[in-house]
Amino acid sequence: MFERVDCAIVGAGVVGLAVARCLAAAGRDVVVLEAGAAIGTVTSSRNSEVIHAGLYYPLDSLKARLCRRGRDLLYGYLASRHIDHLMCGKLVVACDEGEVAGLDRIEASARANGVTDVYRLSGAEAARLEPELHCVAALASPSTGIFDSHGYMLSLKGEAEAAGALFAMLSPCLGGRIAADAIHLDVGGQAPMTLACRHVVNAAGLGAQALALSLDGFPPAKVPPLHYAKGNYFALSGRPPFSRLIYPLPDQASVGLHYTRDLAGQGRFGPDVEWVDAIDYRVDGARADGFVAAIRRYWPGLPDGSLTPGYAGIRPKLQAPGEPPRDFVVQGPESHGVPGLVNLFGIESPGLTASLAIAELVAARLGMPAETS
């Protein structure tokens, strides 16, 4: 079967859903192709559900700009749709005097990125806020929060469908070719077909590089490398020790240090960083020993035996182990020369927070108006 469509979006994770809603609301005919049976079942559902404020990212990077813009859009979206969320705040902690300079760097980075509500706390002041916390100093980020990411994705899908977008589940994109008049996508599933698309947004996440390389006529040199960074999470039994999220300094966070919680109060620690060669979501309980040692630097009262394996996620990293972090890649025709095609590579954290802002940028790359409110 052969059909023509205006806009095809490959991938129904949170970014694909945000783009679908944005383009459909702008009056475009949109089809979303998803290999899985449901939306948001891969990277989008395997994270901490944190709304990031934008503290850490290099000045003027896409991560910095899209996180800050996306945070504001996301809070407004969640409030107006009555989707559960909580601006609980976060403390970035220095566990000894040698780490205080790291807080200085993060504070300077945050303020340069326009995150002006951060403020410093002494160890005693932090302990008055969080009595079980041990640190010598902390940086408070009051605009960090948590939210119901699944409810958010369901809302995006509903609004995209209300604006006319169609969703084709169990419809993997098997490849395609760049033609003079369109981008042809070969779609598998129970009703295989070829779609001739005027616009294509590659939001395939962990499969984005493979999809781009499978398009006959697309320049392979424009496809960045892909590395799998697995993050393991451990759940905490018993009452949550903190009301805020607790983050050690990023350069110290080699093993399971972050404390986050969900809206029901369930505490968890992670993710750590485990470079892997294949997608595998099993959590090895033996990693708990490393988690315990790291957590007790800032929570000495962690009870023995209170951590149980939770879940894992895999981030699509563009850098190899040991290399400096790389920015998001939102690659439009101005970069690769293929009219109507936008590739999204390396959309990891803070992609969930930035999703509505990423949708705006994709629309701009395609020369379309954006609807993100």
Report the alpha-carbon distance of residue 131 to residue 112 in Å, rounded: 31
Report CA-CA distances (Å) from 282 to 4, 150, 266, 285: 41, 21, 20, 9
Residue pLDDT, tens place only, 148-204: 999 999 999 999 999 999 999 999 999 999 999 999 999 999 889 999 999 999 999
Report the alpha-carbon distance of residue 367 to residue 344 in Å, rounded: 16
| SS (HEC) of 250-303 | HHHCCCCCCEEECCCCCEEECCCCEEECCCCCCCCHHHHHHHHHHHCCCCCCCC
Residue 174 lies inside a defined structural domain of this protein: yes
Same domain, 237 and 308: yes
User: In the predicted model, what is the mean pLDDT of residues 220-227?
Assistant: 98
Tokens 């781009």, residue located: 212
CATH number of the domain that 258 lies in?
3.30.9.10
Report the alpha-carbon distance of residue 225 to residue 176 in Å, rounded: 20
> Torsion-angle region of residue 205: left (phi > 0), alpha (psi -120 to 50) or beta?
left
* Residues forming beta bridges with residue 269, ordered by sequence position: 234, 259
Residue pLDDT, tens place only, 61-120: 999 999 999 999 999 999 999 999 999 999 999 999 999 999 999 999 999 999 999 999
Same domain, 259 and 301: yes
Q: Which domain holds residue 30?
A: 2-46+150-225+325-365
Q: Structural domain tally of the chain? A: 2
Strand duo 2-10 + 30-33: pairing: parallel
pLDDT above 50 for 253: no
CATH number of the domain that 217 lies in?
3.50.50.60
Average pLDDT, the chain: 95
Report CA-CA distances (Å) from 214 to 173, 184, 243: 9, 11, 47
Same domain, 137 and 239: yes
Q: Which of 1-5, 177-181, 287-291 is predicted with the least confidence, judged by mean pLDDT?
A: 1-5
Q: Give the residue from 373, 372, 346 showing the smallest Cα distance to 361.
A: 372
Report CA-CA distances (Å) from 119 to 104, 111, 112, 299: 11, 10, 14, 22
pTM: 0.96
Residue 218 lies inside a defined structural domain of this protein: yes
